[in-house]
């Protein structure tokens, strides 16, 4: 019998926006909030003897949903979600069974079919809910101090289908060392950055050993209100708007580097890298975030009642004239496909 812990998230990339595809990759997840939210209008027509709203005047005008998913940053299986979040991806063989996956901002992100399954309380019967046309509206990364880093994805949803059967679950093969951790993180700030290639990680920036945490958020600014005549109340595929990339890192107050850059509005590269204990044919599994140009937006320290002084530095990421990308997400993995 299924228990309340036997919930699942199963994901597949759609060939056609809003057309169901059975899940190809299941995720171990921390939290989800997929919901169907049609717009229902209760007509106000007056009628003799009617003293309340009339049931037959309550109609659906448009149909849509939303959802969110939080997953731990793992060494395998992240490709479908990252590809949908950023829009462009490439997987290149480095050597042996080691692949490098590069994710950059693209104009036509893929849509996903996401089936969540929930067990009933007493019988344990598992009910699948298939959410179609799932587009990442915004997403974030949380690398909190002394914690496990996580990705969170917010989705715009076209439709809900409860007629699909429960799809088989295929989880990535994870073991000890397959989940990234704060203890295996490192950072670089300033210096001369060499952006990642198809087979090489970013290098060249200056090591920064005073960072205590790292977070960022990307808003895809979807045009998600494309309800048109003839669409049966369902939206057309949202288009990507002007991306907004912002984040923060907390650093001990060791020097005036961040303060001076804040005051001068100086552009600097920022690179944060997580390695793992999972051995590959070449090196170990790695997750890297590369921002060729950020500007620090807050940097003035304040007294901390006699305790260690730290400063939370908010930042905004920019595209430069020499680097066509405002950000790169890079995975070194044994996954041979996105």
Task: List, for residues 181-233, the tens digit of each pLDDT value.
Answer: 999 999 999 999 999 999 999 999 999 999 999 999 999 999 999 999 999 99
* The pair of three-digit structure tokens given for residue 215, joined into one six-digit string: 């977070």
CA neighbor of 84 nearest in space, from 114, 116, 115, 108: 108
What is the reported pLDDT for 95?
Answer: 96
pTM of the prediction? 0.96
What's the chain's average pLDDT? 95
Q: What is the pLDDT of residue 50?
A: 86
Distance CA 190, CA 111 (A): 36
User: What is the domain partition of the chain in residue ranges?
Assistant: 8-38+58-333
Confidence of residue 323 (pLDDT cuts 50, 70, 90): low
pLDDT tens digits for 52-76?
Answer: 898 989 999 999 999 999 999 999 9
75 in Cβ contact with 278 (< 8 Å): yes
pLDDT value at position 45? 86
What is the per-residue pLDDT across 131-145, written as a single tens digit (0 to 9) for each?
999 999 999 999 999
């Amino acid at each position: 019998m299924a228990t309340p812990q036997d919930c699942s998230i199963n994901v597949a990339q759609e060939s056609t926006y809003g057309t169901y595809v059975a899940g190809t990759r299941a995720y171990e997840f921390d939290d989800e909030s997929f919901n169907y939210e049609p717009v229902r209008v209760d007509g106000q027509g007056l009628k003799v003897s009617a003293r309340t709203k009339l049931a037959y005047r309550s109609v659906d005008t448009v149909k849509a949903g939303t959802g969110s998913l939080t997953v731990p940053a793992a060494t395998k299986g992240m490709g479908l979600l990252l590809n949908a979040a950023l829009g462009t991806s490439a997987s290149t063989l480095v050597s042996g069974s080691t692949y490098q996956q590069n994710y950059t901002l693209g104009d036509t992100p893929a849509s996903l079919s996401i089936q969540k399954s929930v067990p009933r309380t007493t019988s344990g019967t598992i009910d699948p809910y298939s959410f179609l046309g799932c587009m990442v509206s915004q997403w974030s990364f949380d690398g909190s101090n002394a914690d496990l880093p996580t990705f969170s994805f917010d989705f715009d949803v076209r439709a809900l289908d409860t007629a699909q059967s429960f799809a088989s679950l295929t989880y990535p093969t994870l073991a000890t060392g397959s989940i990234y951790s704060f203890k295996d993180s490192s950072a670089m700030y300033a210096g001369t950055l060499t952006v990642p290639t198809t087979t090489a990680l970013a290098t060249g920036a200056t090591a920064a050993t005073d960072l205590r945490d790292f977070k960022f958020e990307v808003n895809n600014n979807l045009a998600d209100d494309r309800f048109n005549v003839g669409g049966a109340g369902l939206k057309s595929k949202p288009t990507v708007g002007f991306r907004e990339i912002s984040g923060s890192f907390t650093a001990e107050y060791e020097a005036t580097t961040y303060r001076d850059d804040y005051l001068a509005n100086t552009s600097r590269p920022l690179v944060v890298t997580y390695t793992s204990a999972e051995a590959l044919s070449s090196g170990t599994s790695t997750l890297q975030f590369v921002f060729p140009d950020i500007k620090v937006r807050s940097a003035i320290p304040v007294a901390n009642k006699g305790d260690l002084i730290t400063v939370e530095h908010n930042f905004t990421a920019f595209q430069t004239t020499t680097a066509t990308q405002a950000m790169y997400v890079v995975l070194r993995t044994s996954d041979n496909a996105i």
